[in-house]
A and B are shown apart, each in its own frame.
Chain A
Amino acid sequence: MTVALEMRGITKVFPGVVALDNVNFTVRKGEIHALCGENGAGKSTLMKVLSGVYPVGTYKGQILIDGVERHFHDIRDAEAAGIAIIYQELALARNLSVAENLFLGHELKRFGIVNKEKMHKESERWLREVGLNVDPRELTGNLGIGKQQLVEIAKALAKNAKILILDEPTAALTEQEVGILMGILRELKQRGVTCIYISHKLNEVLAIADTITVLRDGQTVGTYPVSEVDEGKIISLMVGRELKERFPRIEASPGDVMLRVRNYTVMSPDQPGKAVIRDVSFEVRKGEIFGIGGLMGAGRTELVMSLFGAYPGESRGEVEIEGRPVRIRSVGDAIRAGMGLVSEDRKKYGLVLGMNVKSNVSMASLQAFAWRGVIDHNRETAGGLQAIHTLRIKANSPETIVGTLSGGNQQKVVIGKWLTTRPKILFLDEPTRGIDVGAKFEIYNIINQLVRDGVAVVIVSSEMPELIGMCHRIMVLSEGRKTAEFPASEATQERIMKAATGGMEA
């Protein structure tokens, strides 16, 4: 096979950080080439160099497409050369229709006027291609994250890309959607499209990729045919050491009931009369990890957001903390009652991207860093440093702007924010999304430490191995109802799946 793309000696420096250090990267035509590495290894940065986000001159090194050196001054140059990128962070305009997003910047026109008719027709074709059954006129913001991701992919396809870059496309997808995506990628490969695929889900990588390149600390570790590696090998290449176990499970030492929820119902904020959570009861004890499983859209996020006082829809039912009934009307109430919530969408709900690490870390517990309303900046810096150390956040200093951190490290900052509040009950909604295996392991260890300290932890996760591997008890929701609850010792993926698709258990 011929070489489709060669990146030679790429070096990219940000103020205070060498993100890429003389990286070489070669991709053959028509293959699916996976790019692996820890959070902050430089994967996204390398792809941004390739796709013209960082224009020629802001990095050192050469880019050769089909053996010819190219200089990209912006994204359009790269697109013209057949390179399309789907970013790690969704980049769709939420207030435009699906069709408008698909053709953003390439609107189909007749006599200079946007031809809506044709755009809708074309859109339908591309949406079918990615197995997405939505009206092209639908507002993009109304779709779930998973569907938006598929729209992104359709958008890239519509540009007739020769080289398609997917930066963690499946982080927010359901198993079913992942399956669809895998199918699409295989089909594209048949058509001769070259794919570069970034993911922290190594099982996916092994299933779909032909070749794997591993980056570590901004340097190329090596490129391997997929037949020569397995998960353990990739992990050790990524982190530079072996990782024996994936889940550092500790046994529960359950104490008193910390959180008791009875007959809890949450109404939809925009559809009157519709309940997104119906009659759910459960309890979580001190020193216990309670898992909530289910498919996307089952109401898991709505449940924890509502308990946390952050969901706009009305709620009914009883909530008790340490045996005392509580009425939580706002997030402030929840925090005062000892709750914390790491939300699933860090960019939207978790972080102020323009602020630095320490301000984000202290944001939910600012009073603790202040005396009579005046912030002690030194104490705050110390708090930021502590988060950086305990979570091993890859940031230069507590003053680093959060928006410049890699995706996984941003997630760690959100977790740091809630650890800083010293919660009694911590809700973690998809806590390890977009986080590398090494960092996942660290986060699991932190969760375990919390549990040892008597915190009640609630994990919402779509990754069943994570639920089974870490939790002590698992509850499964399906369409807003509780369909099962069992101890982790009795949990299997099949059993969770069955309950998640609506199979009631006794």
Chain B
Amino acid sequence: MNTESQTAPARTETGTWTGTFARLFRFDARAYSMIGAVVLIWTFFSLMHERFLTPTNLSNLFLQMSVTSILAIGMVLVIVAGQIDLSVGSLVGLTGGIAAVLNVWYDWDPVSVVLVTIALGSLIGLMQGWIVAYLAVPAFIVTLGGMLMFRGILLGTTKSVTVAPLDPSLKAIGQDYLPEFLGWIAGAVGVIGTAVIVLGSRWRRKRYGFKVAPLSISVLRIALIGAFILGAVWVLNSYKGFPIPFIIVIVLALLFTFISRNTVFGRQIYAIGGNPEAARLSGIPIRRRILMVFVLCNTLAAIAGIVLTARVNAATMSAGTMYELDAIAACVIGGTSLMGGTGTVTGAILGALIMVSLDNGMSIMNMESFWQYIVKGAILILAVYMDISSRRRKKAA
């Protein structure tokens, strides 16, 4: 992660072009190849169709990726811990359905609907996590069962009818945009936040007497990230502004990146996935951590359920079907190993972006939808193959 926090000079990285680049952004090689892939895909589609790279379509694309991204953020933690959750798709359907039922049939106000739905997600996570962690039933089975049961409960509660339309203020969660000036304020907060984080960590490293990158590099980094943020604001503002679901994704992504990289909890999750026995002998309470991972994942699924229902302004019985596979694919394309122990939130979001870009691009080109399945499947296999072969090369290097 912190590639520069080395006392010995980072021999392999200094001097080269990629070295400077890596120091600028502190991403690993993996993140670069993913960003490269996004650029490649976007270039391809914008050459194929002039409408792809327009603010309207990009805004749309970010809207489309929001549900998968939220699910993928939770799924990363689960997979890193060496588990799997197949139930999140059905859970999106169930929680979205419950939210719609409470709002449409029982006239609950949006705030209570959101709170109760999220609490329901946490509760379900508690149950699934408890069965996995304390009753030692494999996660694959527990969540496969959950996938069937939640879909069944959804059909039962909604009596298999579509529940619509929602209260306008609930609908807003999925359909509204941040007003232009708020978008700029958010952008400014982002830039200032970046500056505070970059300079702050530089200052703290210095206080510890560690080597730090020259100030110019830090400033350049802030400038580049800042330009990127403001550019994004500008593009989105030239359509309707930031879609609310995308804001939710950004906030959750920042939060969970922080959790996974900077908290004791996050670190212990990686240790558990990397070697559960060693984690246990280091005093890490494995069962409690795994329980918590499921709670988080299913809470996020409930948030995704609300966003989806709000976006389509209705709850349908098939909502969220197969979303768990999209989420898992996003994680895996983003470099999460199904063996556990490795994976990042950023990677998963980029993975979701790649998949949604493919979807979006192909539908803009009016390709028939069967192609989307075939291409996405092939990309998944290709991504994992490239990952494995690059890892093998590194080992022998």
Complex contacts, A364 vs chain B, CB 8 Å: 282-283
Q: Interface 1/0s, chain A 325-363, versus B by CB < 8 A?
A: 000001110110000010100001111111100010001
Contact A349 B6 (CB under 8 A): no
CB of B378 closer than 8 Å to a CB of A: no
A398 to B8 CA separation, bound complex (whole angstroms): 10
Residues of A within 8 A of B208 (CB): 378-379, 381-382
For A373, the chain B residues whose CB sits under 8 A away are 263-265
Contacts A331-B283, A373-B263, A377-B262; is A348 near B268 (CB within 8 Å)? no
Is B389 an interface position by the 8 A CB rule?
no
Q: Which of B127-135, B188-196, B269-277 forms contacts with chain A?
A: B269-277
Q: In residues 259-301 of chain B, which contact A (Cβ within 8 Å)? A: 262-265, 267-268, 270-271, 274-275, 277-285
Is the beta-carbon distance between A396 and B271 smaller than 8 angstroms? Answer: no
Question: Are B396's CB and A58's CB within 8 A?
Answer: yes
Considering the chains assembled together, what is the distance between the CA atoms of A53 and B6 in angstroms?
Answer: 29
Closest to A395 in B: B8
Q: A374-B263, A381-B5 are in contact. Are A352 and B271 (CB under 8 A)?
A: yes
> Does any Cβ of A come within 8 Å of B11's Cβ?
yes
B7 & A385 in contact (Cβ 8 Å cutoff): yes
Are B265 and A348 within 8 A (Cβ)? no
Chain B residues with CB below 8 A from A135, complex form: none
A310 in contact (CB, < 8 A): yes
Please name all residues of chain B whose beta carbon is closer than 8 Å to the beta carbon of A308 when the two chains form the complex: 281
Interfacial chain A residues near B342, Cβ < 8 Å? 354
**What residues on B are CB-neighbors of A377 within 8 Å?**
2, 5, 262
**Whole-angstrom distance between the Cβ of A16 and the nearest chain B Cβ:** 5
Complex contacts, B12 vs chain A, CB 8 Å: 15-16
Task: Check: B3 CB closer than 8 A to any chain A CB.
Answer: yes
Cβ contact within 8 Å between B281 and A350: yes
Decide if A355 touches B274 in the complex (CB within 8 Å): yes
- Report which residue of B7, B207, B210, B284 has the largest number of chain A beta carbons within 10 angstroms of its beta carbon: B7
B 3-19 to A, binary, CB cutoff 8 A, 1 in contact else 0: 10111101110000000
CA distance A350 to B263 in the complex (A): 22
In whole angstroms, how far apart are the Cα atoms of A397 and B278 in the complex?
22
Verify if B49 is at the interface (C-beta below 8 Å from A): no
- B11 touching A16, Cβ below 8 Å: yes
Contact call B6/A363, Cβ cutoff below 8 A:
no
Q: Is A375 an interface residue (CB 8 A)?
A: yes
Instruction: Say what secondary structure dominates the interface of chain A.
Output: mixed
In the bound complex, residues from chain B placing their C-beta under 8 Å from that of A58 are 396-397
Whether a CB of chain A sits under 8 angstroms from the CB of B30 is no
Render A2-23 as a binary contact track against B, CB cut-off 8 A, 1 for contact.
0000000000001110000000
Instruction: Report whether A354 and B341 are in contact in the complex, using a CB–CB cutoff of 8 Å.
Output: yes
Interface residues on B, range: 35 or more
Kindly identify which residue among A330, A352, A381, A396 contacts B275, using a CB–CB cutoff of 8 Å.
Answer: A352
CB <8 Å contact, B210 and A359: no
Complex: how many Å from CA A375 to CA B263?
5
Chain A count of residues within 8 A CB distance of the other chain: 44
Q: Please tell me if the beta carbons of A397 and B279 are within 8 angstroms of each other in the complex.
A: no
Beyond A14-B397, A348-B278, A378-B204, whether A366 also contacts B267 by CB under 8 A is yes
A417: Cβ under 8 A from any B Cβ: yes
Give the distance in Å from the alpha carbon of A331 to the alpha carbon of B277 in the complex. 11
Q: Quick check: A332 and B283 within 8 Å, CB to CB?
A: yes
Question: Which residue in chain A gives the minimum CB-CB distance to B268?
Answer: A366
State whether the Cβ of A190 lies closer than 8 Å to any Cβ in chain B. no
Contact string against B for A residues 367-390, beta-carbon threshold 8 Å, 1 for contact and 0 otherwise: 100100111011101100100000
The residues of B that contact A343 with a CB separation of less than 8 Å are 281
Please give, as numbers and ranges, the residues of chain B lying within 8 Å of A264 by CB-CB distance: none
What B residues does A417 contact at CB under 8 A?
282
Contact residues of B between 340 and 358, Cβ < 8 Å to A? 341-342
CB-CB contacts below 8 Å: A402-424 with B: 417
**Does any Cβ of B come within 8 Å of A399's Cβ?**
yes
* Assembly CA distance A343 to B264 (angstroms): 23
Contact with B along A281-319 (1 / 0, CB 8 A): 000000000000000000000000000101000000000
Inter-chain contact A15/B397, CB cutoff 8 Å:
yes
Contacts of B264 in A (CB 8 A): 366-367, 370, 373-375
Asked if A374 meets B262 with Cβ closer than 8 Å, knowing A58-B396, A353-B275, A396-B6, the reply is yes
Kindly state the separation between the CA atoms of A452 and B267 in the bound complex, as whole angstroms.
Answer: 34
Distance, CA A351 to CA B270, complexed state (A)? 12
Residue A54 lies at the interface, judged by CB distance under 8 Å to chain B: yes
Q: Which chain B residues lie closer than 8 Å to A382 at the CB level?
A: 208
| Residue A55 interfacial (CB < 8 Å) | yes
- Please name 12 pairs of A and B residues whose Cβ atoms are closer than 8 Å in the assembled complex, sorted by A: A15-B12, A16-B10, A58-B396, A310-B280, A330-B285, A332-B284, A351-B278, A354-B341, A355-B271, A378-B204, A378-B208, A385-B7
A348-B278, A359-B271, A378-B208 given. 15 additional CB < 8 A pairs? A14-B397, A15-B12, A15-B397, A16-B8, A16-B10, A54-B396, A331-B282, A350-B281, A352-B341, A355-B271, A363-B279, A373-B264, A377-B5, A381-B208, A417-B282
User: Which 4 residue pairs are nearest across A and B when measured between Cβ atoms?
Assistant: A352-B274, A397-B6, A364-B282, A335-B283
